[in-house]
Amino acid sequence: MPMTESGFRKYTYAEILEQQITRAKDLFGDDIDTSEQSVIGKYIRLNVSDFAQQEEALEALYQARYINTAVGISLDRLTPFAGIQRNAAVAAIWEVWFKNIGSDTVTIPMGTKLMSSNGVIYHTTQDVTVEAGKSSETIHMQCDTVGTIGNNPRNVRFYQTQIPNVQIGVNGFLAVVTGANRETDAELRKRWKSALNGSGSGTTNAIIGSVSRIDGVQDVVIYENETDTEIAVGTFSKIEPHSFLTVIKGAENLSAEIAKVIFENKPLGIQTNKSFVDSVTEQVTDIAGTTHEIHFAFAIDAPITVYVTISKANEPKFNKDAAQPLFEKALEAFFQDCKIGQTVYANALFAPLVQTGAVYCIDKIEVDFTNLAGGIASRKGARLDMVINEYAAFGGLEITYEE
């Protein structure tokens, strides 16, 4: 194995072939025929192919020891050194309610299938009885498919069993559990580094690192107010003087554990902000038995609709029906990497769409969403700013093919 002061250096096929030809000539004489057509030349190249594959395997084995180059199971085996593990795929869970507009009491059994307008299937997780003319308490519906696919339920209706005179509503944009795909190698490396950077206490990095170690947490952002006056954020919220706000994506079902971690790592004398409109409050007891209120917020998704305009003059052979699923898959992958508060630029979407191979020239891309957290209806445009507890999520695609 070619080890140097700089680490492992893989021999290439060409280098190994040159070595083997030189060795053959040393053994059999300089006039030996080692061309591709000769018997010994063919034999040498068969061996060189095997040696080159061995070099690839040795390089992969060497790289598996380091966080920046390890992949798959090798990367998983490094995560205990940062006190974390790879996040598994999680099914989205939302609150849903039923309104009975009929004259008879209706019972909706656990496991009733519901379908969103985008074709995603959910099921209720408990029985619910709805009296005539009344609405039910909110219950949970869970996506049948794990991953981010369940994070955007709209216009939910009954799927298999139809129950007449019952209307369905999804409780706002606040998920009980945010659906997530299996954590990728790149995401895991980033969280691994965040967890190590926050190995101390009483600092922003310490809080981010400690919260990042909680299973299911996908992103953490902290906003601080070091001044003596309140800072307005959004339309209805503020950050109090000498306080901080922690915003977390994912792990909505672990709010008590998150609060405990924040309390254990926050600076003395600095309070968690309680004036944010969507803040969560948990009670944490210290070793002396004193109870403390810890406030933080879960990030909410902002469904982004992407409008793509393509002209027949520039793309005469464009197939809209074939391009639709390819574009949707590319956009889902793009928005999966969006972080809390990250601005969405329409021009950043040109590359992933062109890389699908379904189109070469796109005339225009616009993005649109309704900023519910800020209370402001955003208009279609080239740029969308998220508020401090929002992250962009793929909400739909409309393709216009102009003659």
Q: Are both 227 and 164 inside the same structural domain? A: no
Of the residues 177, 206, 227, the one at which a domain ends = 177
Residue 192 lies in a domain: no
Q: Are residues 388 and 314 both part of a single domain?
A: yes
Domain boundary among 63, 81, 111: 63
Helices 204-212 & 255-265 angle (0-180, nearest 10)? 150
Q: Which residues contact 122 (CB under 8 A, 6 or more apart)?
A: 94, 96, 113, 114, 115, 116, 141, 142, 143, 144, 150, 153, 156
Q: Are residues 274 and 308 in the same domain?
A: no
Asked if the structure places residue 189 within a domain, the reply is: no
Domain contains 217:
yes
Give the separation between CA 194 and CA 381, rounded to whole angstroms: 34
pTM listed for this prediction: 0.68
Instruction: Answer yes or no: are the C-beta atoms of 297 and 223 closer than 8 Å.
Output: no
- Residue 87 to residue 183: CA distance in whole angstroms: 5
Q: Is residue 226 part of a domain?
A: yes
Q: Identify whether residues 99 and 173 lie together within a single domain.
A: yes
Instruction: Please tell me the total count of domains within the chain.
Output: 4
The residue whose two tokens read 């309390």 is 263
- Which residue, chain included where needed, has tokens 């379904």? 358
Within this chain, do residues 287 and 320 fall inside the same structural domain, yes or no? no
Phi-psi region of 31 (alpha: psi -120 to 50; beta: other; left: phi over 0): alpha
**Co-location of 310 and 372 in the same domain:** yes
* Residue finishing a domain among 144, 177, 210: 177
Question: How many Cα neighbours within 13 Å face the side chain of 376?
Answer: 12
Is 267 in the same domain as 237? yes
Does 363 share its domain with 285?
A: no
Cα–Cα distance between 202 and 253 in angstroms, integer? 25
Beta-carbon neighbour count of residue 397 at 10 Å?
19
Per-residue pLDDT tens listing for the chain (403 residues): 577 777 888 888 998 999 999 998 898 888 888 898 899 989 999 999 999 999 888 888 888 888 888 989 999 998 888 888 898 888 999 989 999 998 999 999 999 999 988 889 999 999 999 999 898 888 999 999 998 888 878 889 999 888 889 999 876 556 788 888 888 898 888 888 877 766 666 678 888 888 988 888 889 999 888 888 988 876 667 888 989 999 999 888 899 999 999 998 888 888 898 878 778 899 999 888 999 999 999 988 888 889 999 999 998 989 999 999 999 999 988 988 888 988 999 999 999 999 999 989 999 999 987 544 444 455 677 888 888 888 888 888 999 988 7
Q: Which domain holds residue 35?
A: 3-63
Is position 86 within any domain?
no
Judge if 332 and 367 occupy the same domain.
Answer: yes
Same domain flag for 286 and 378: no
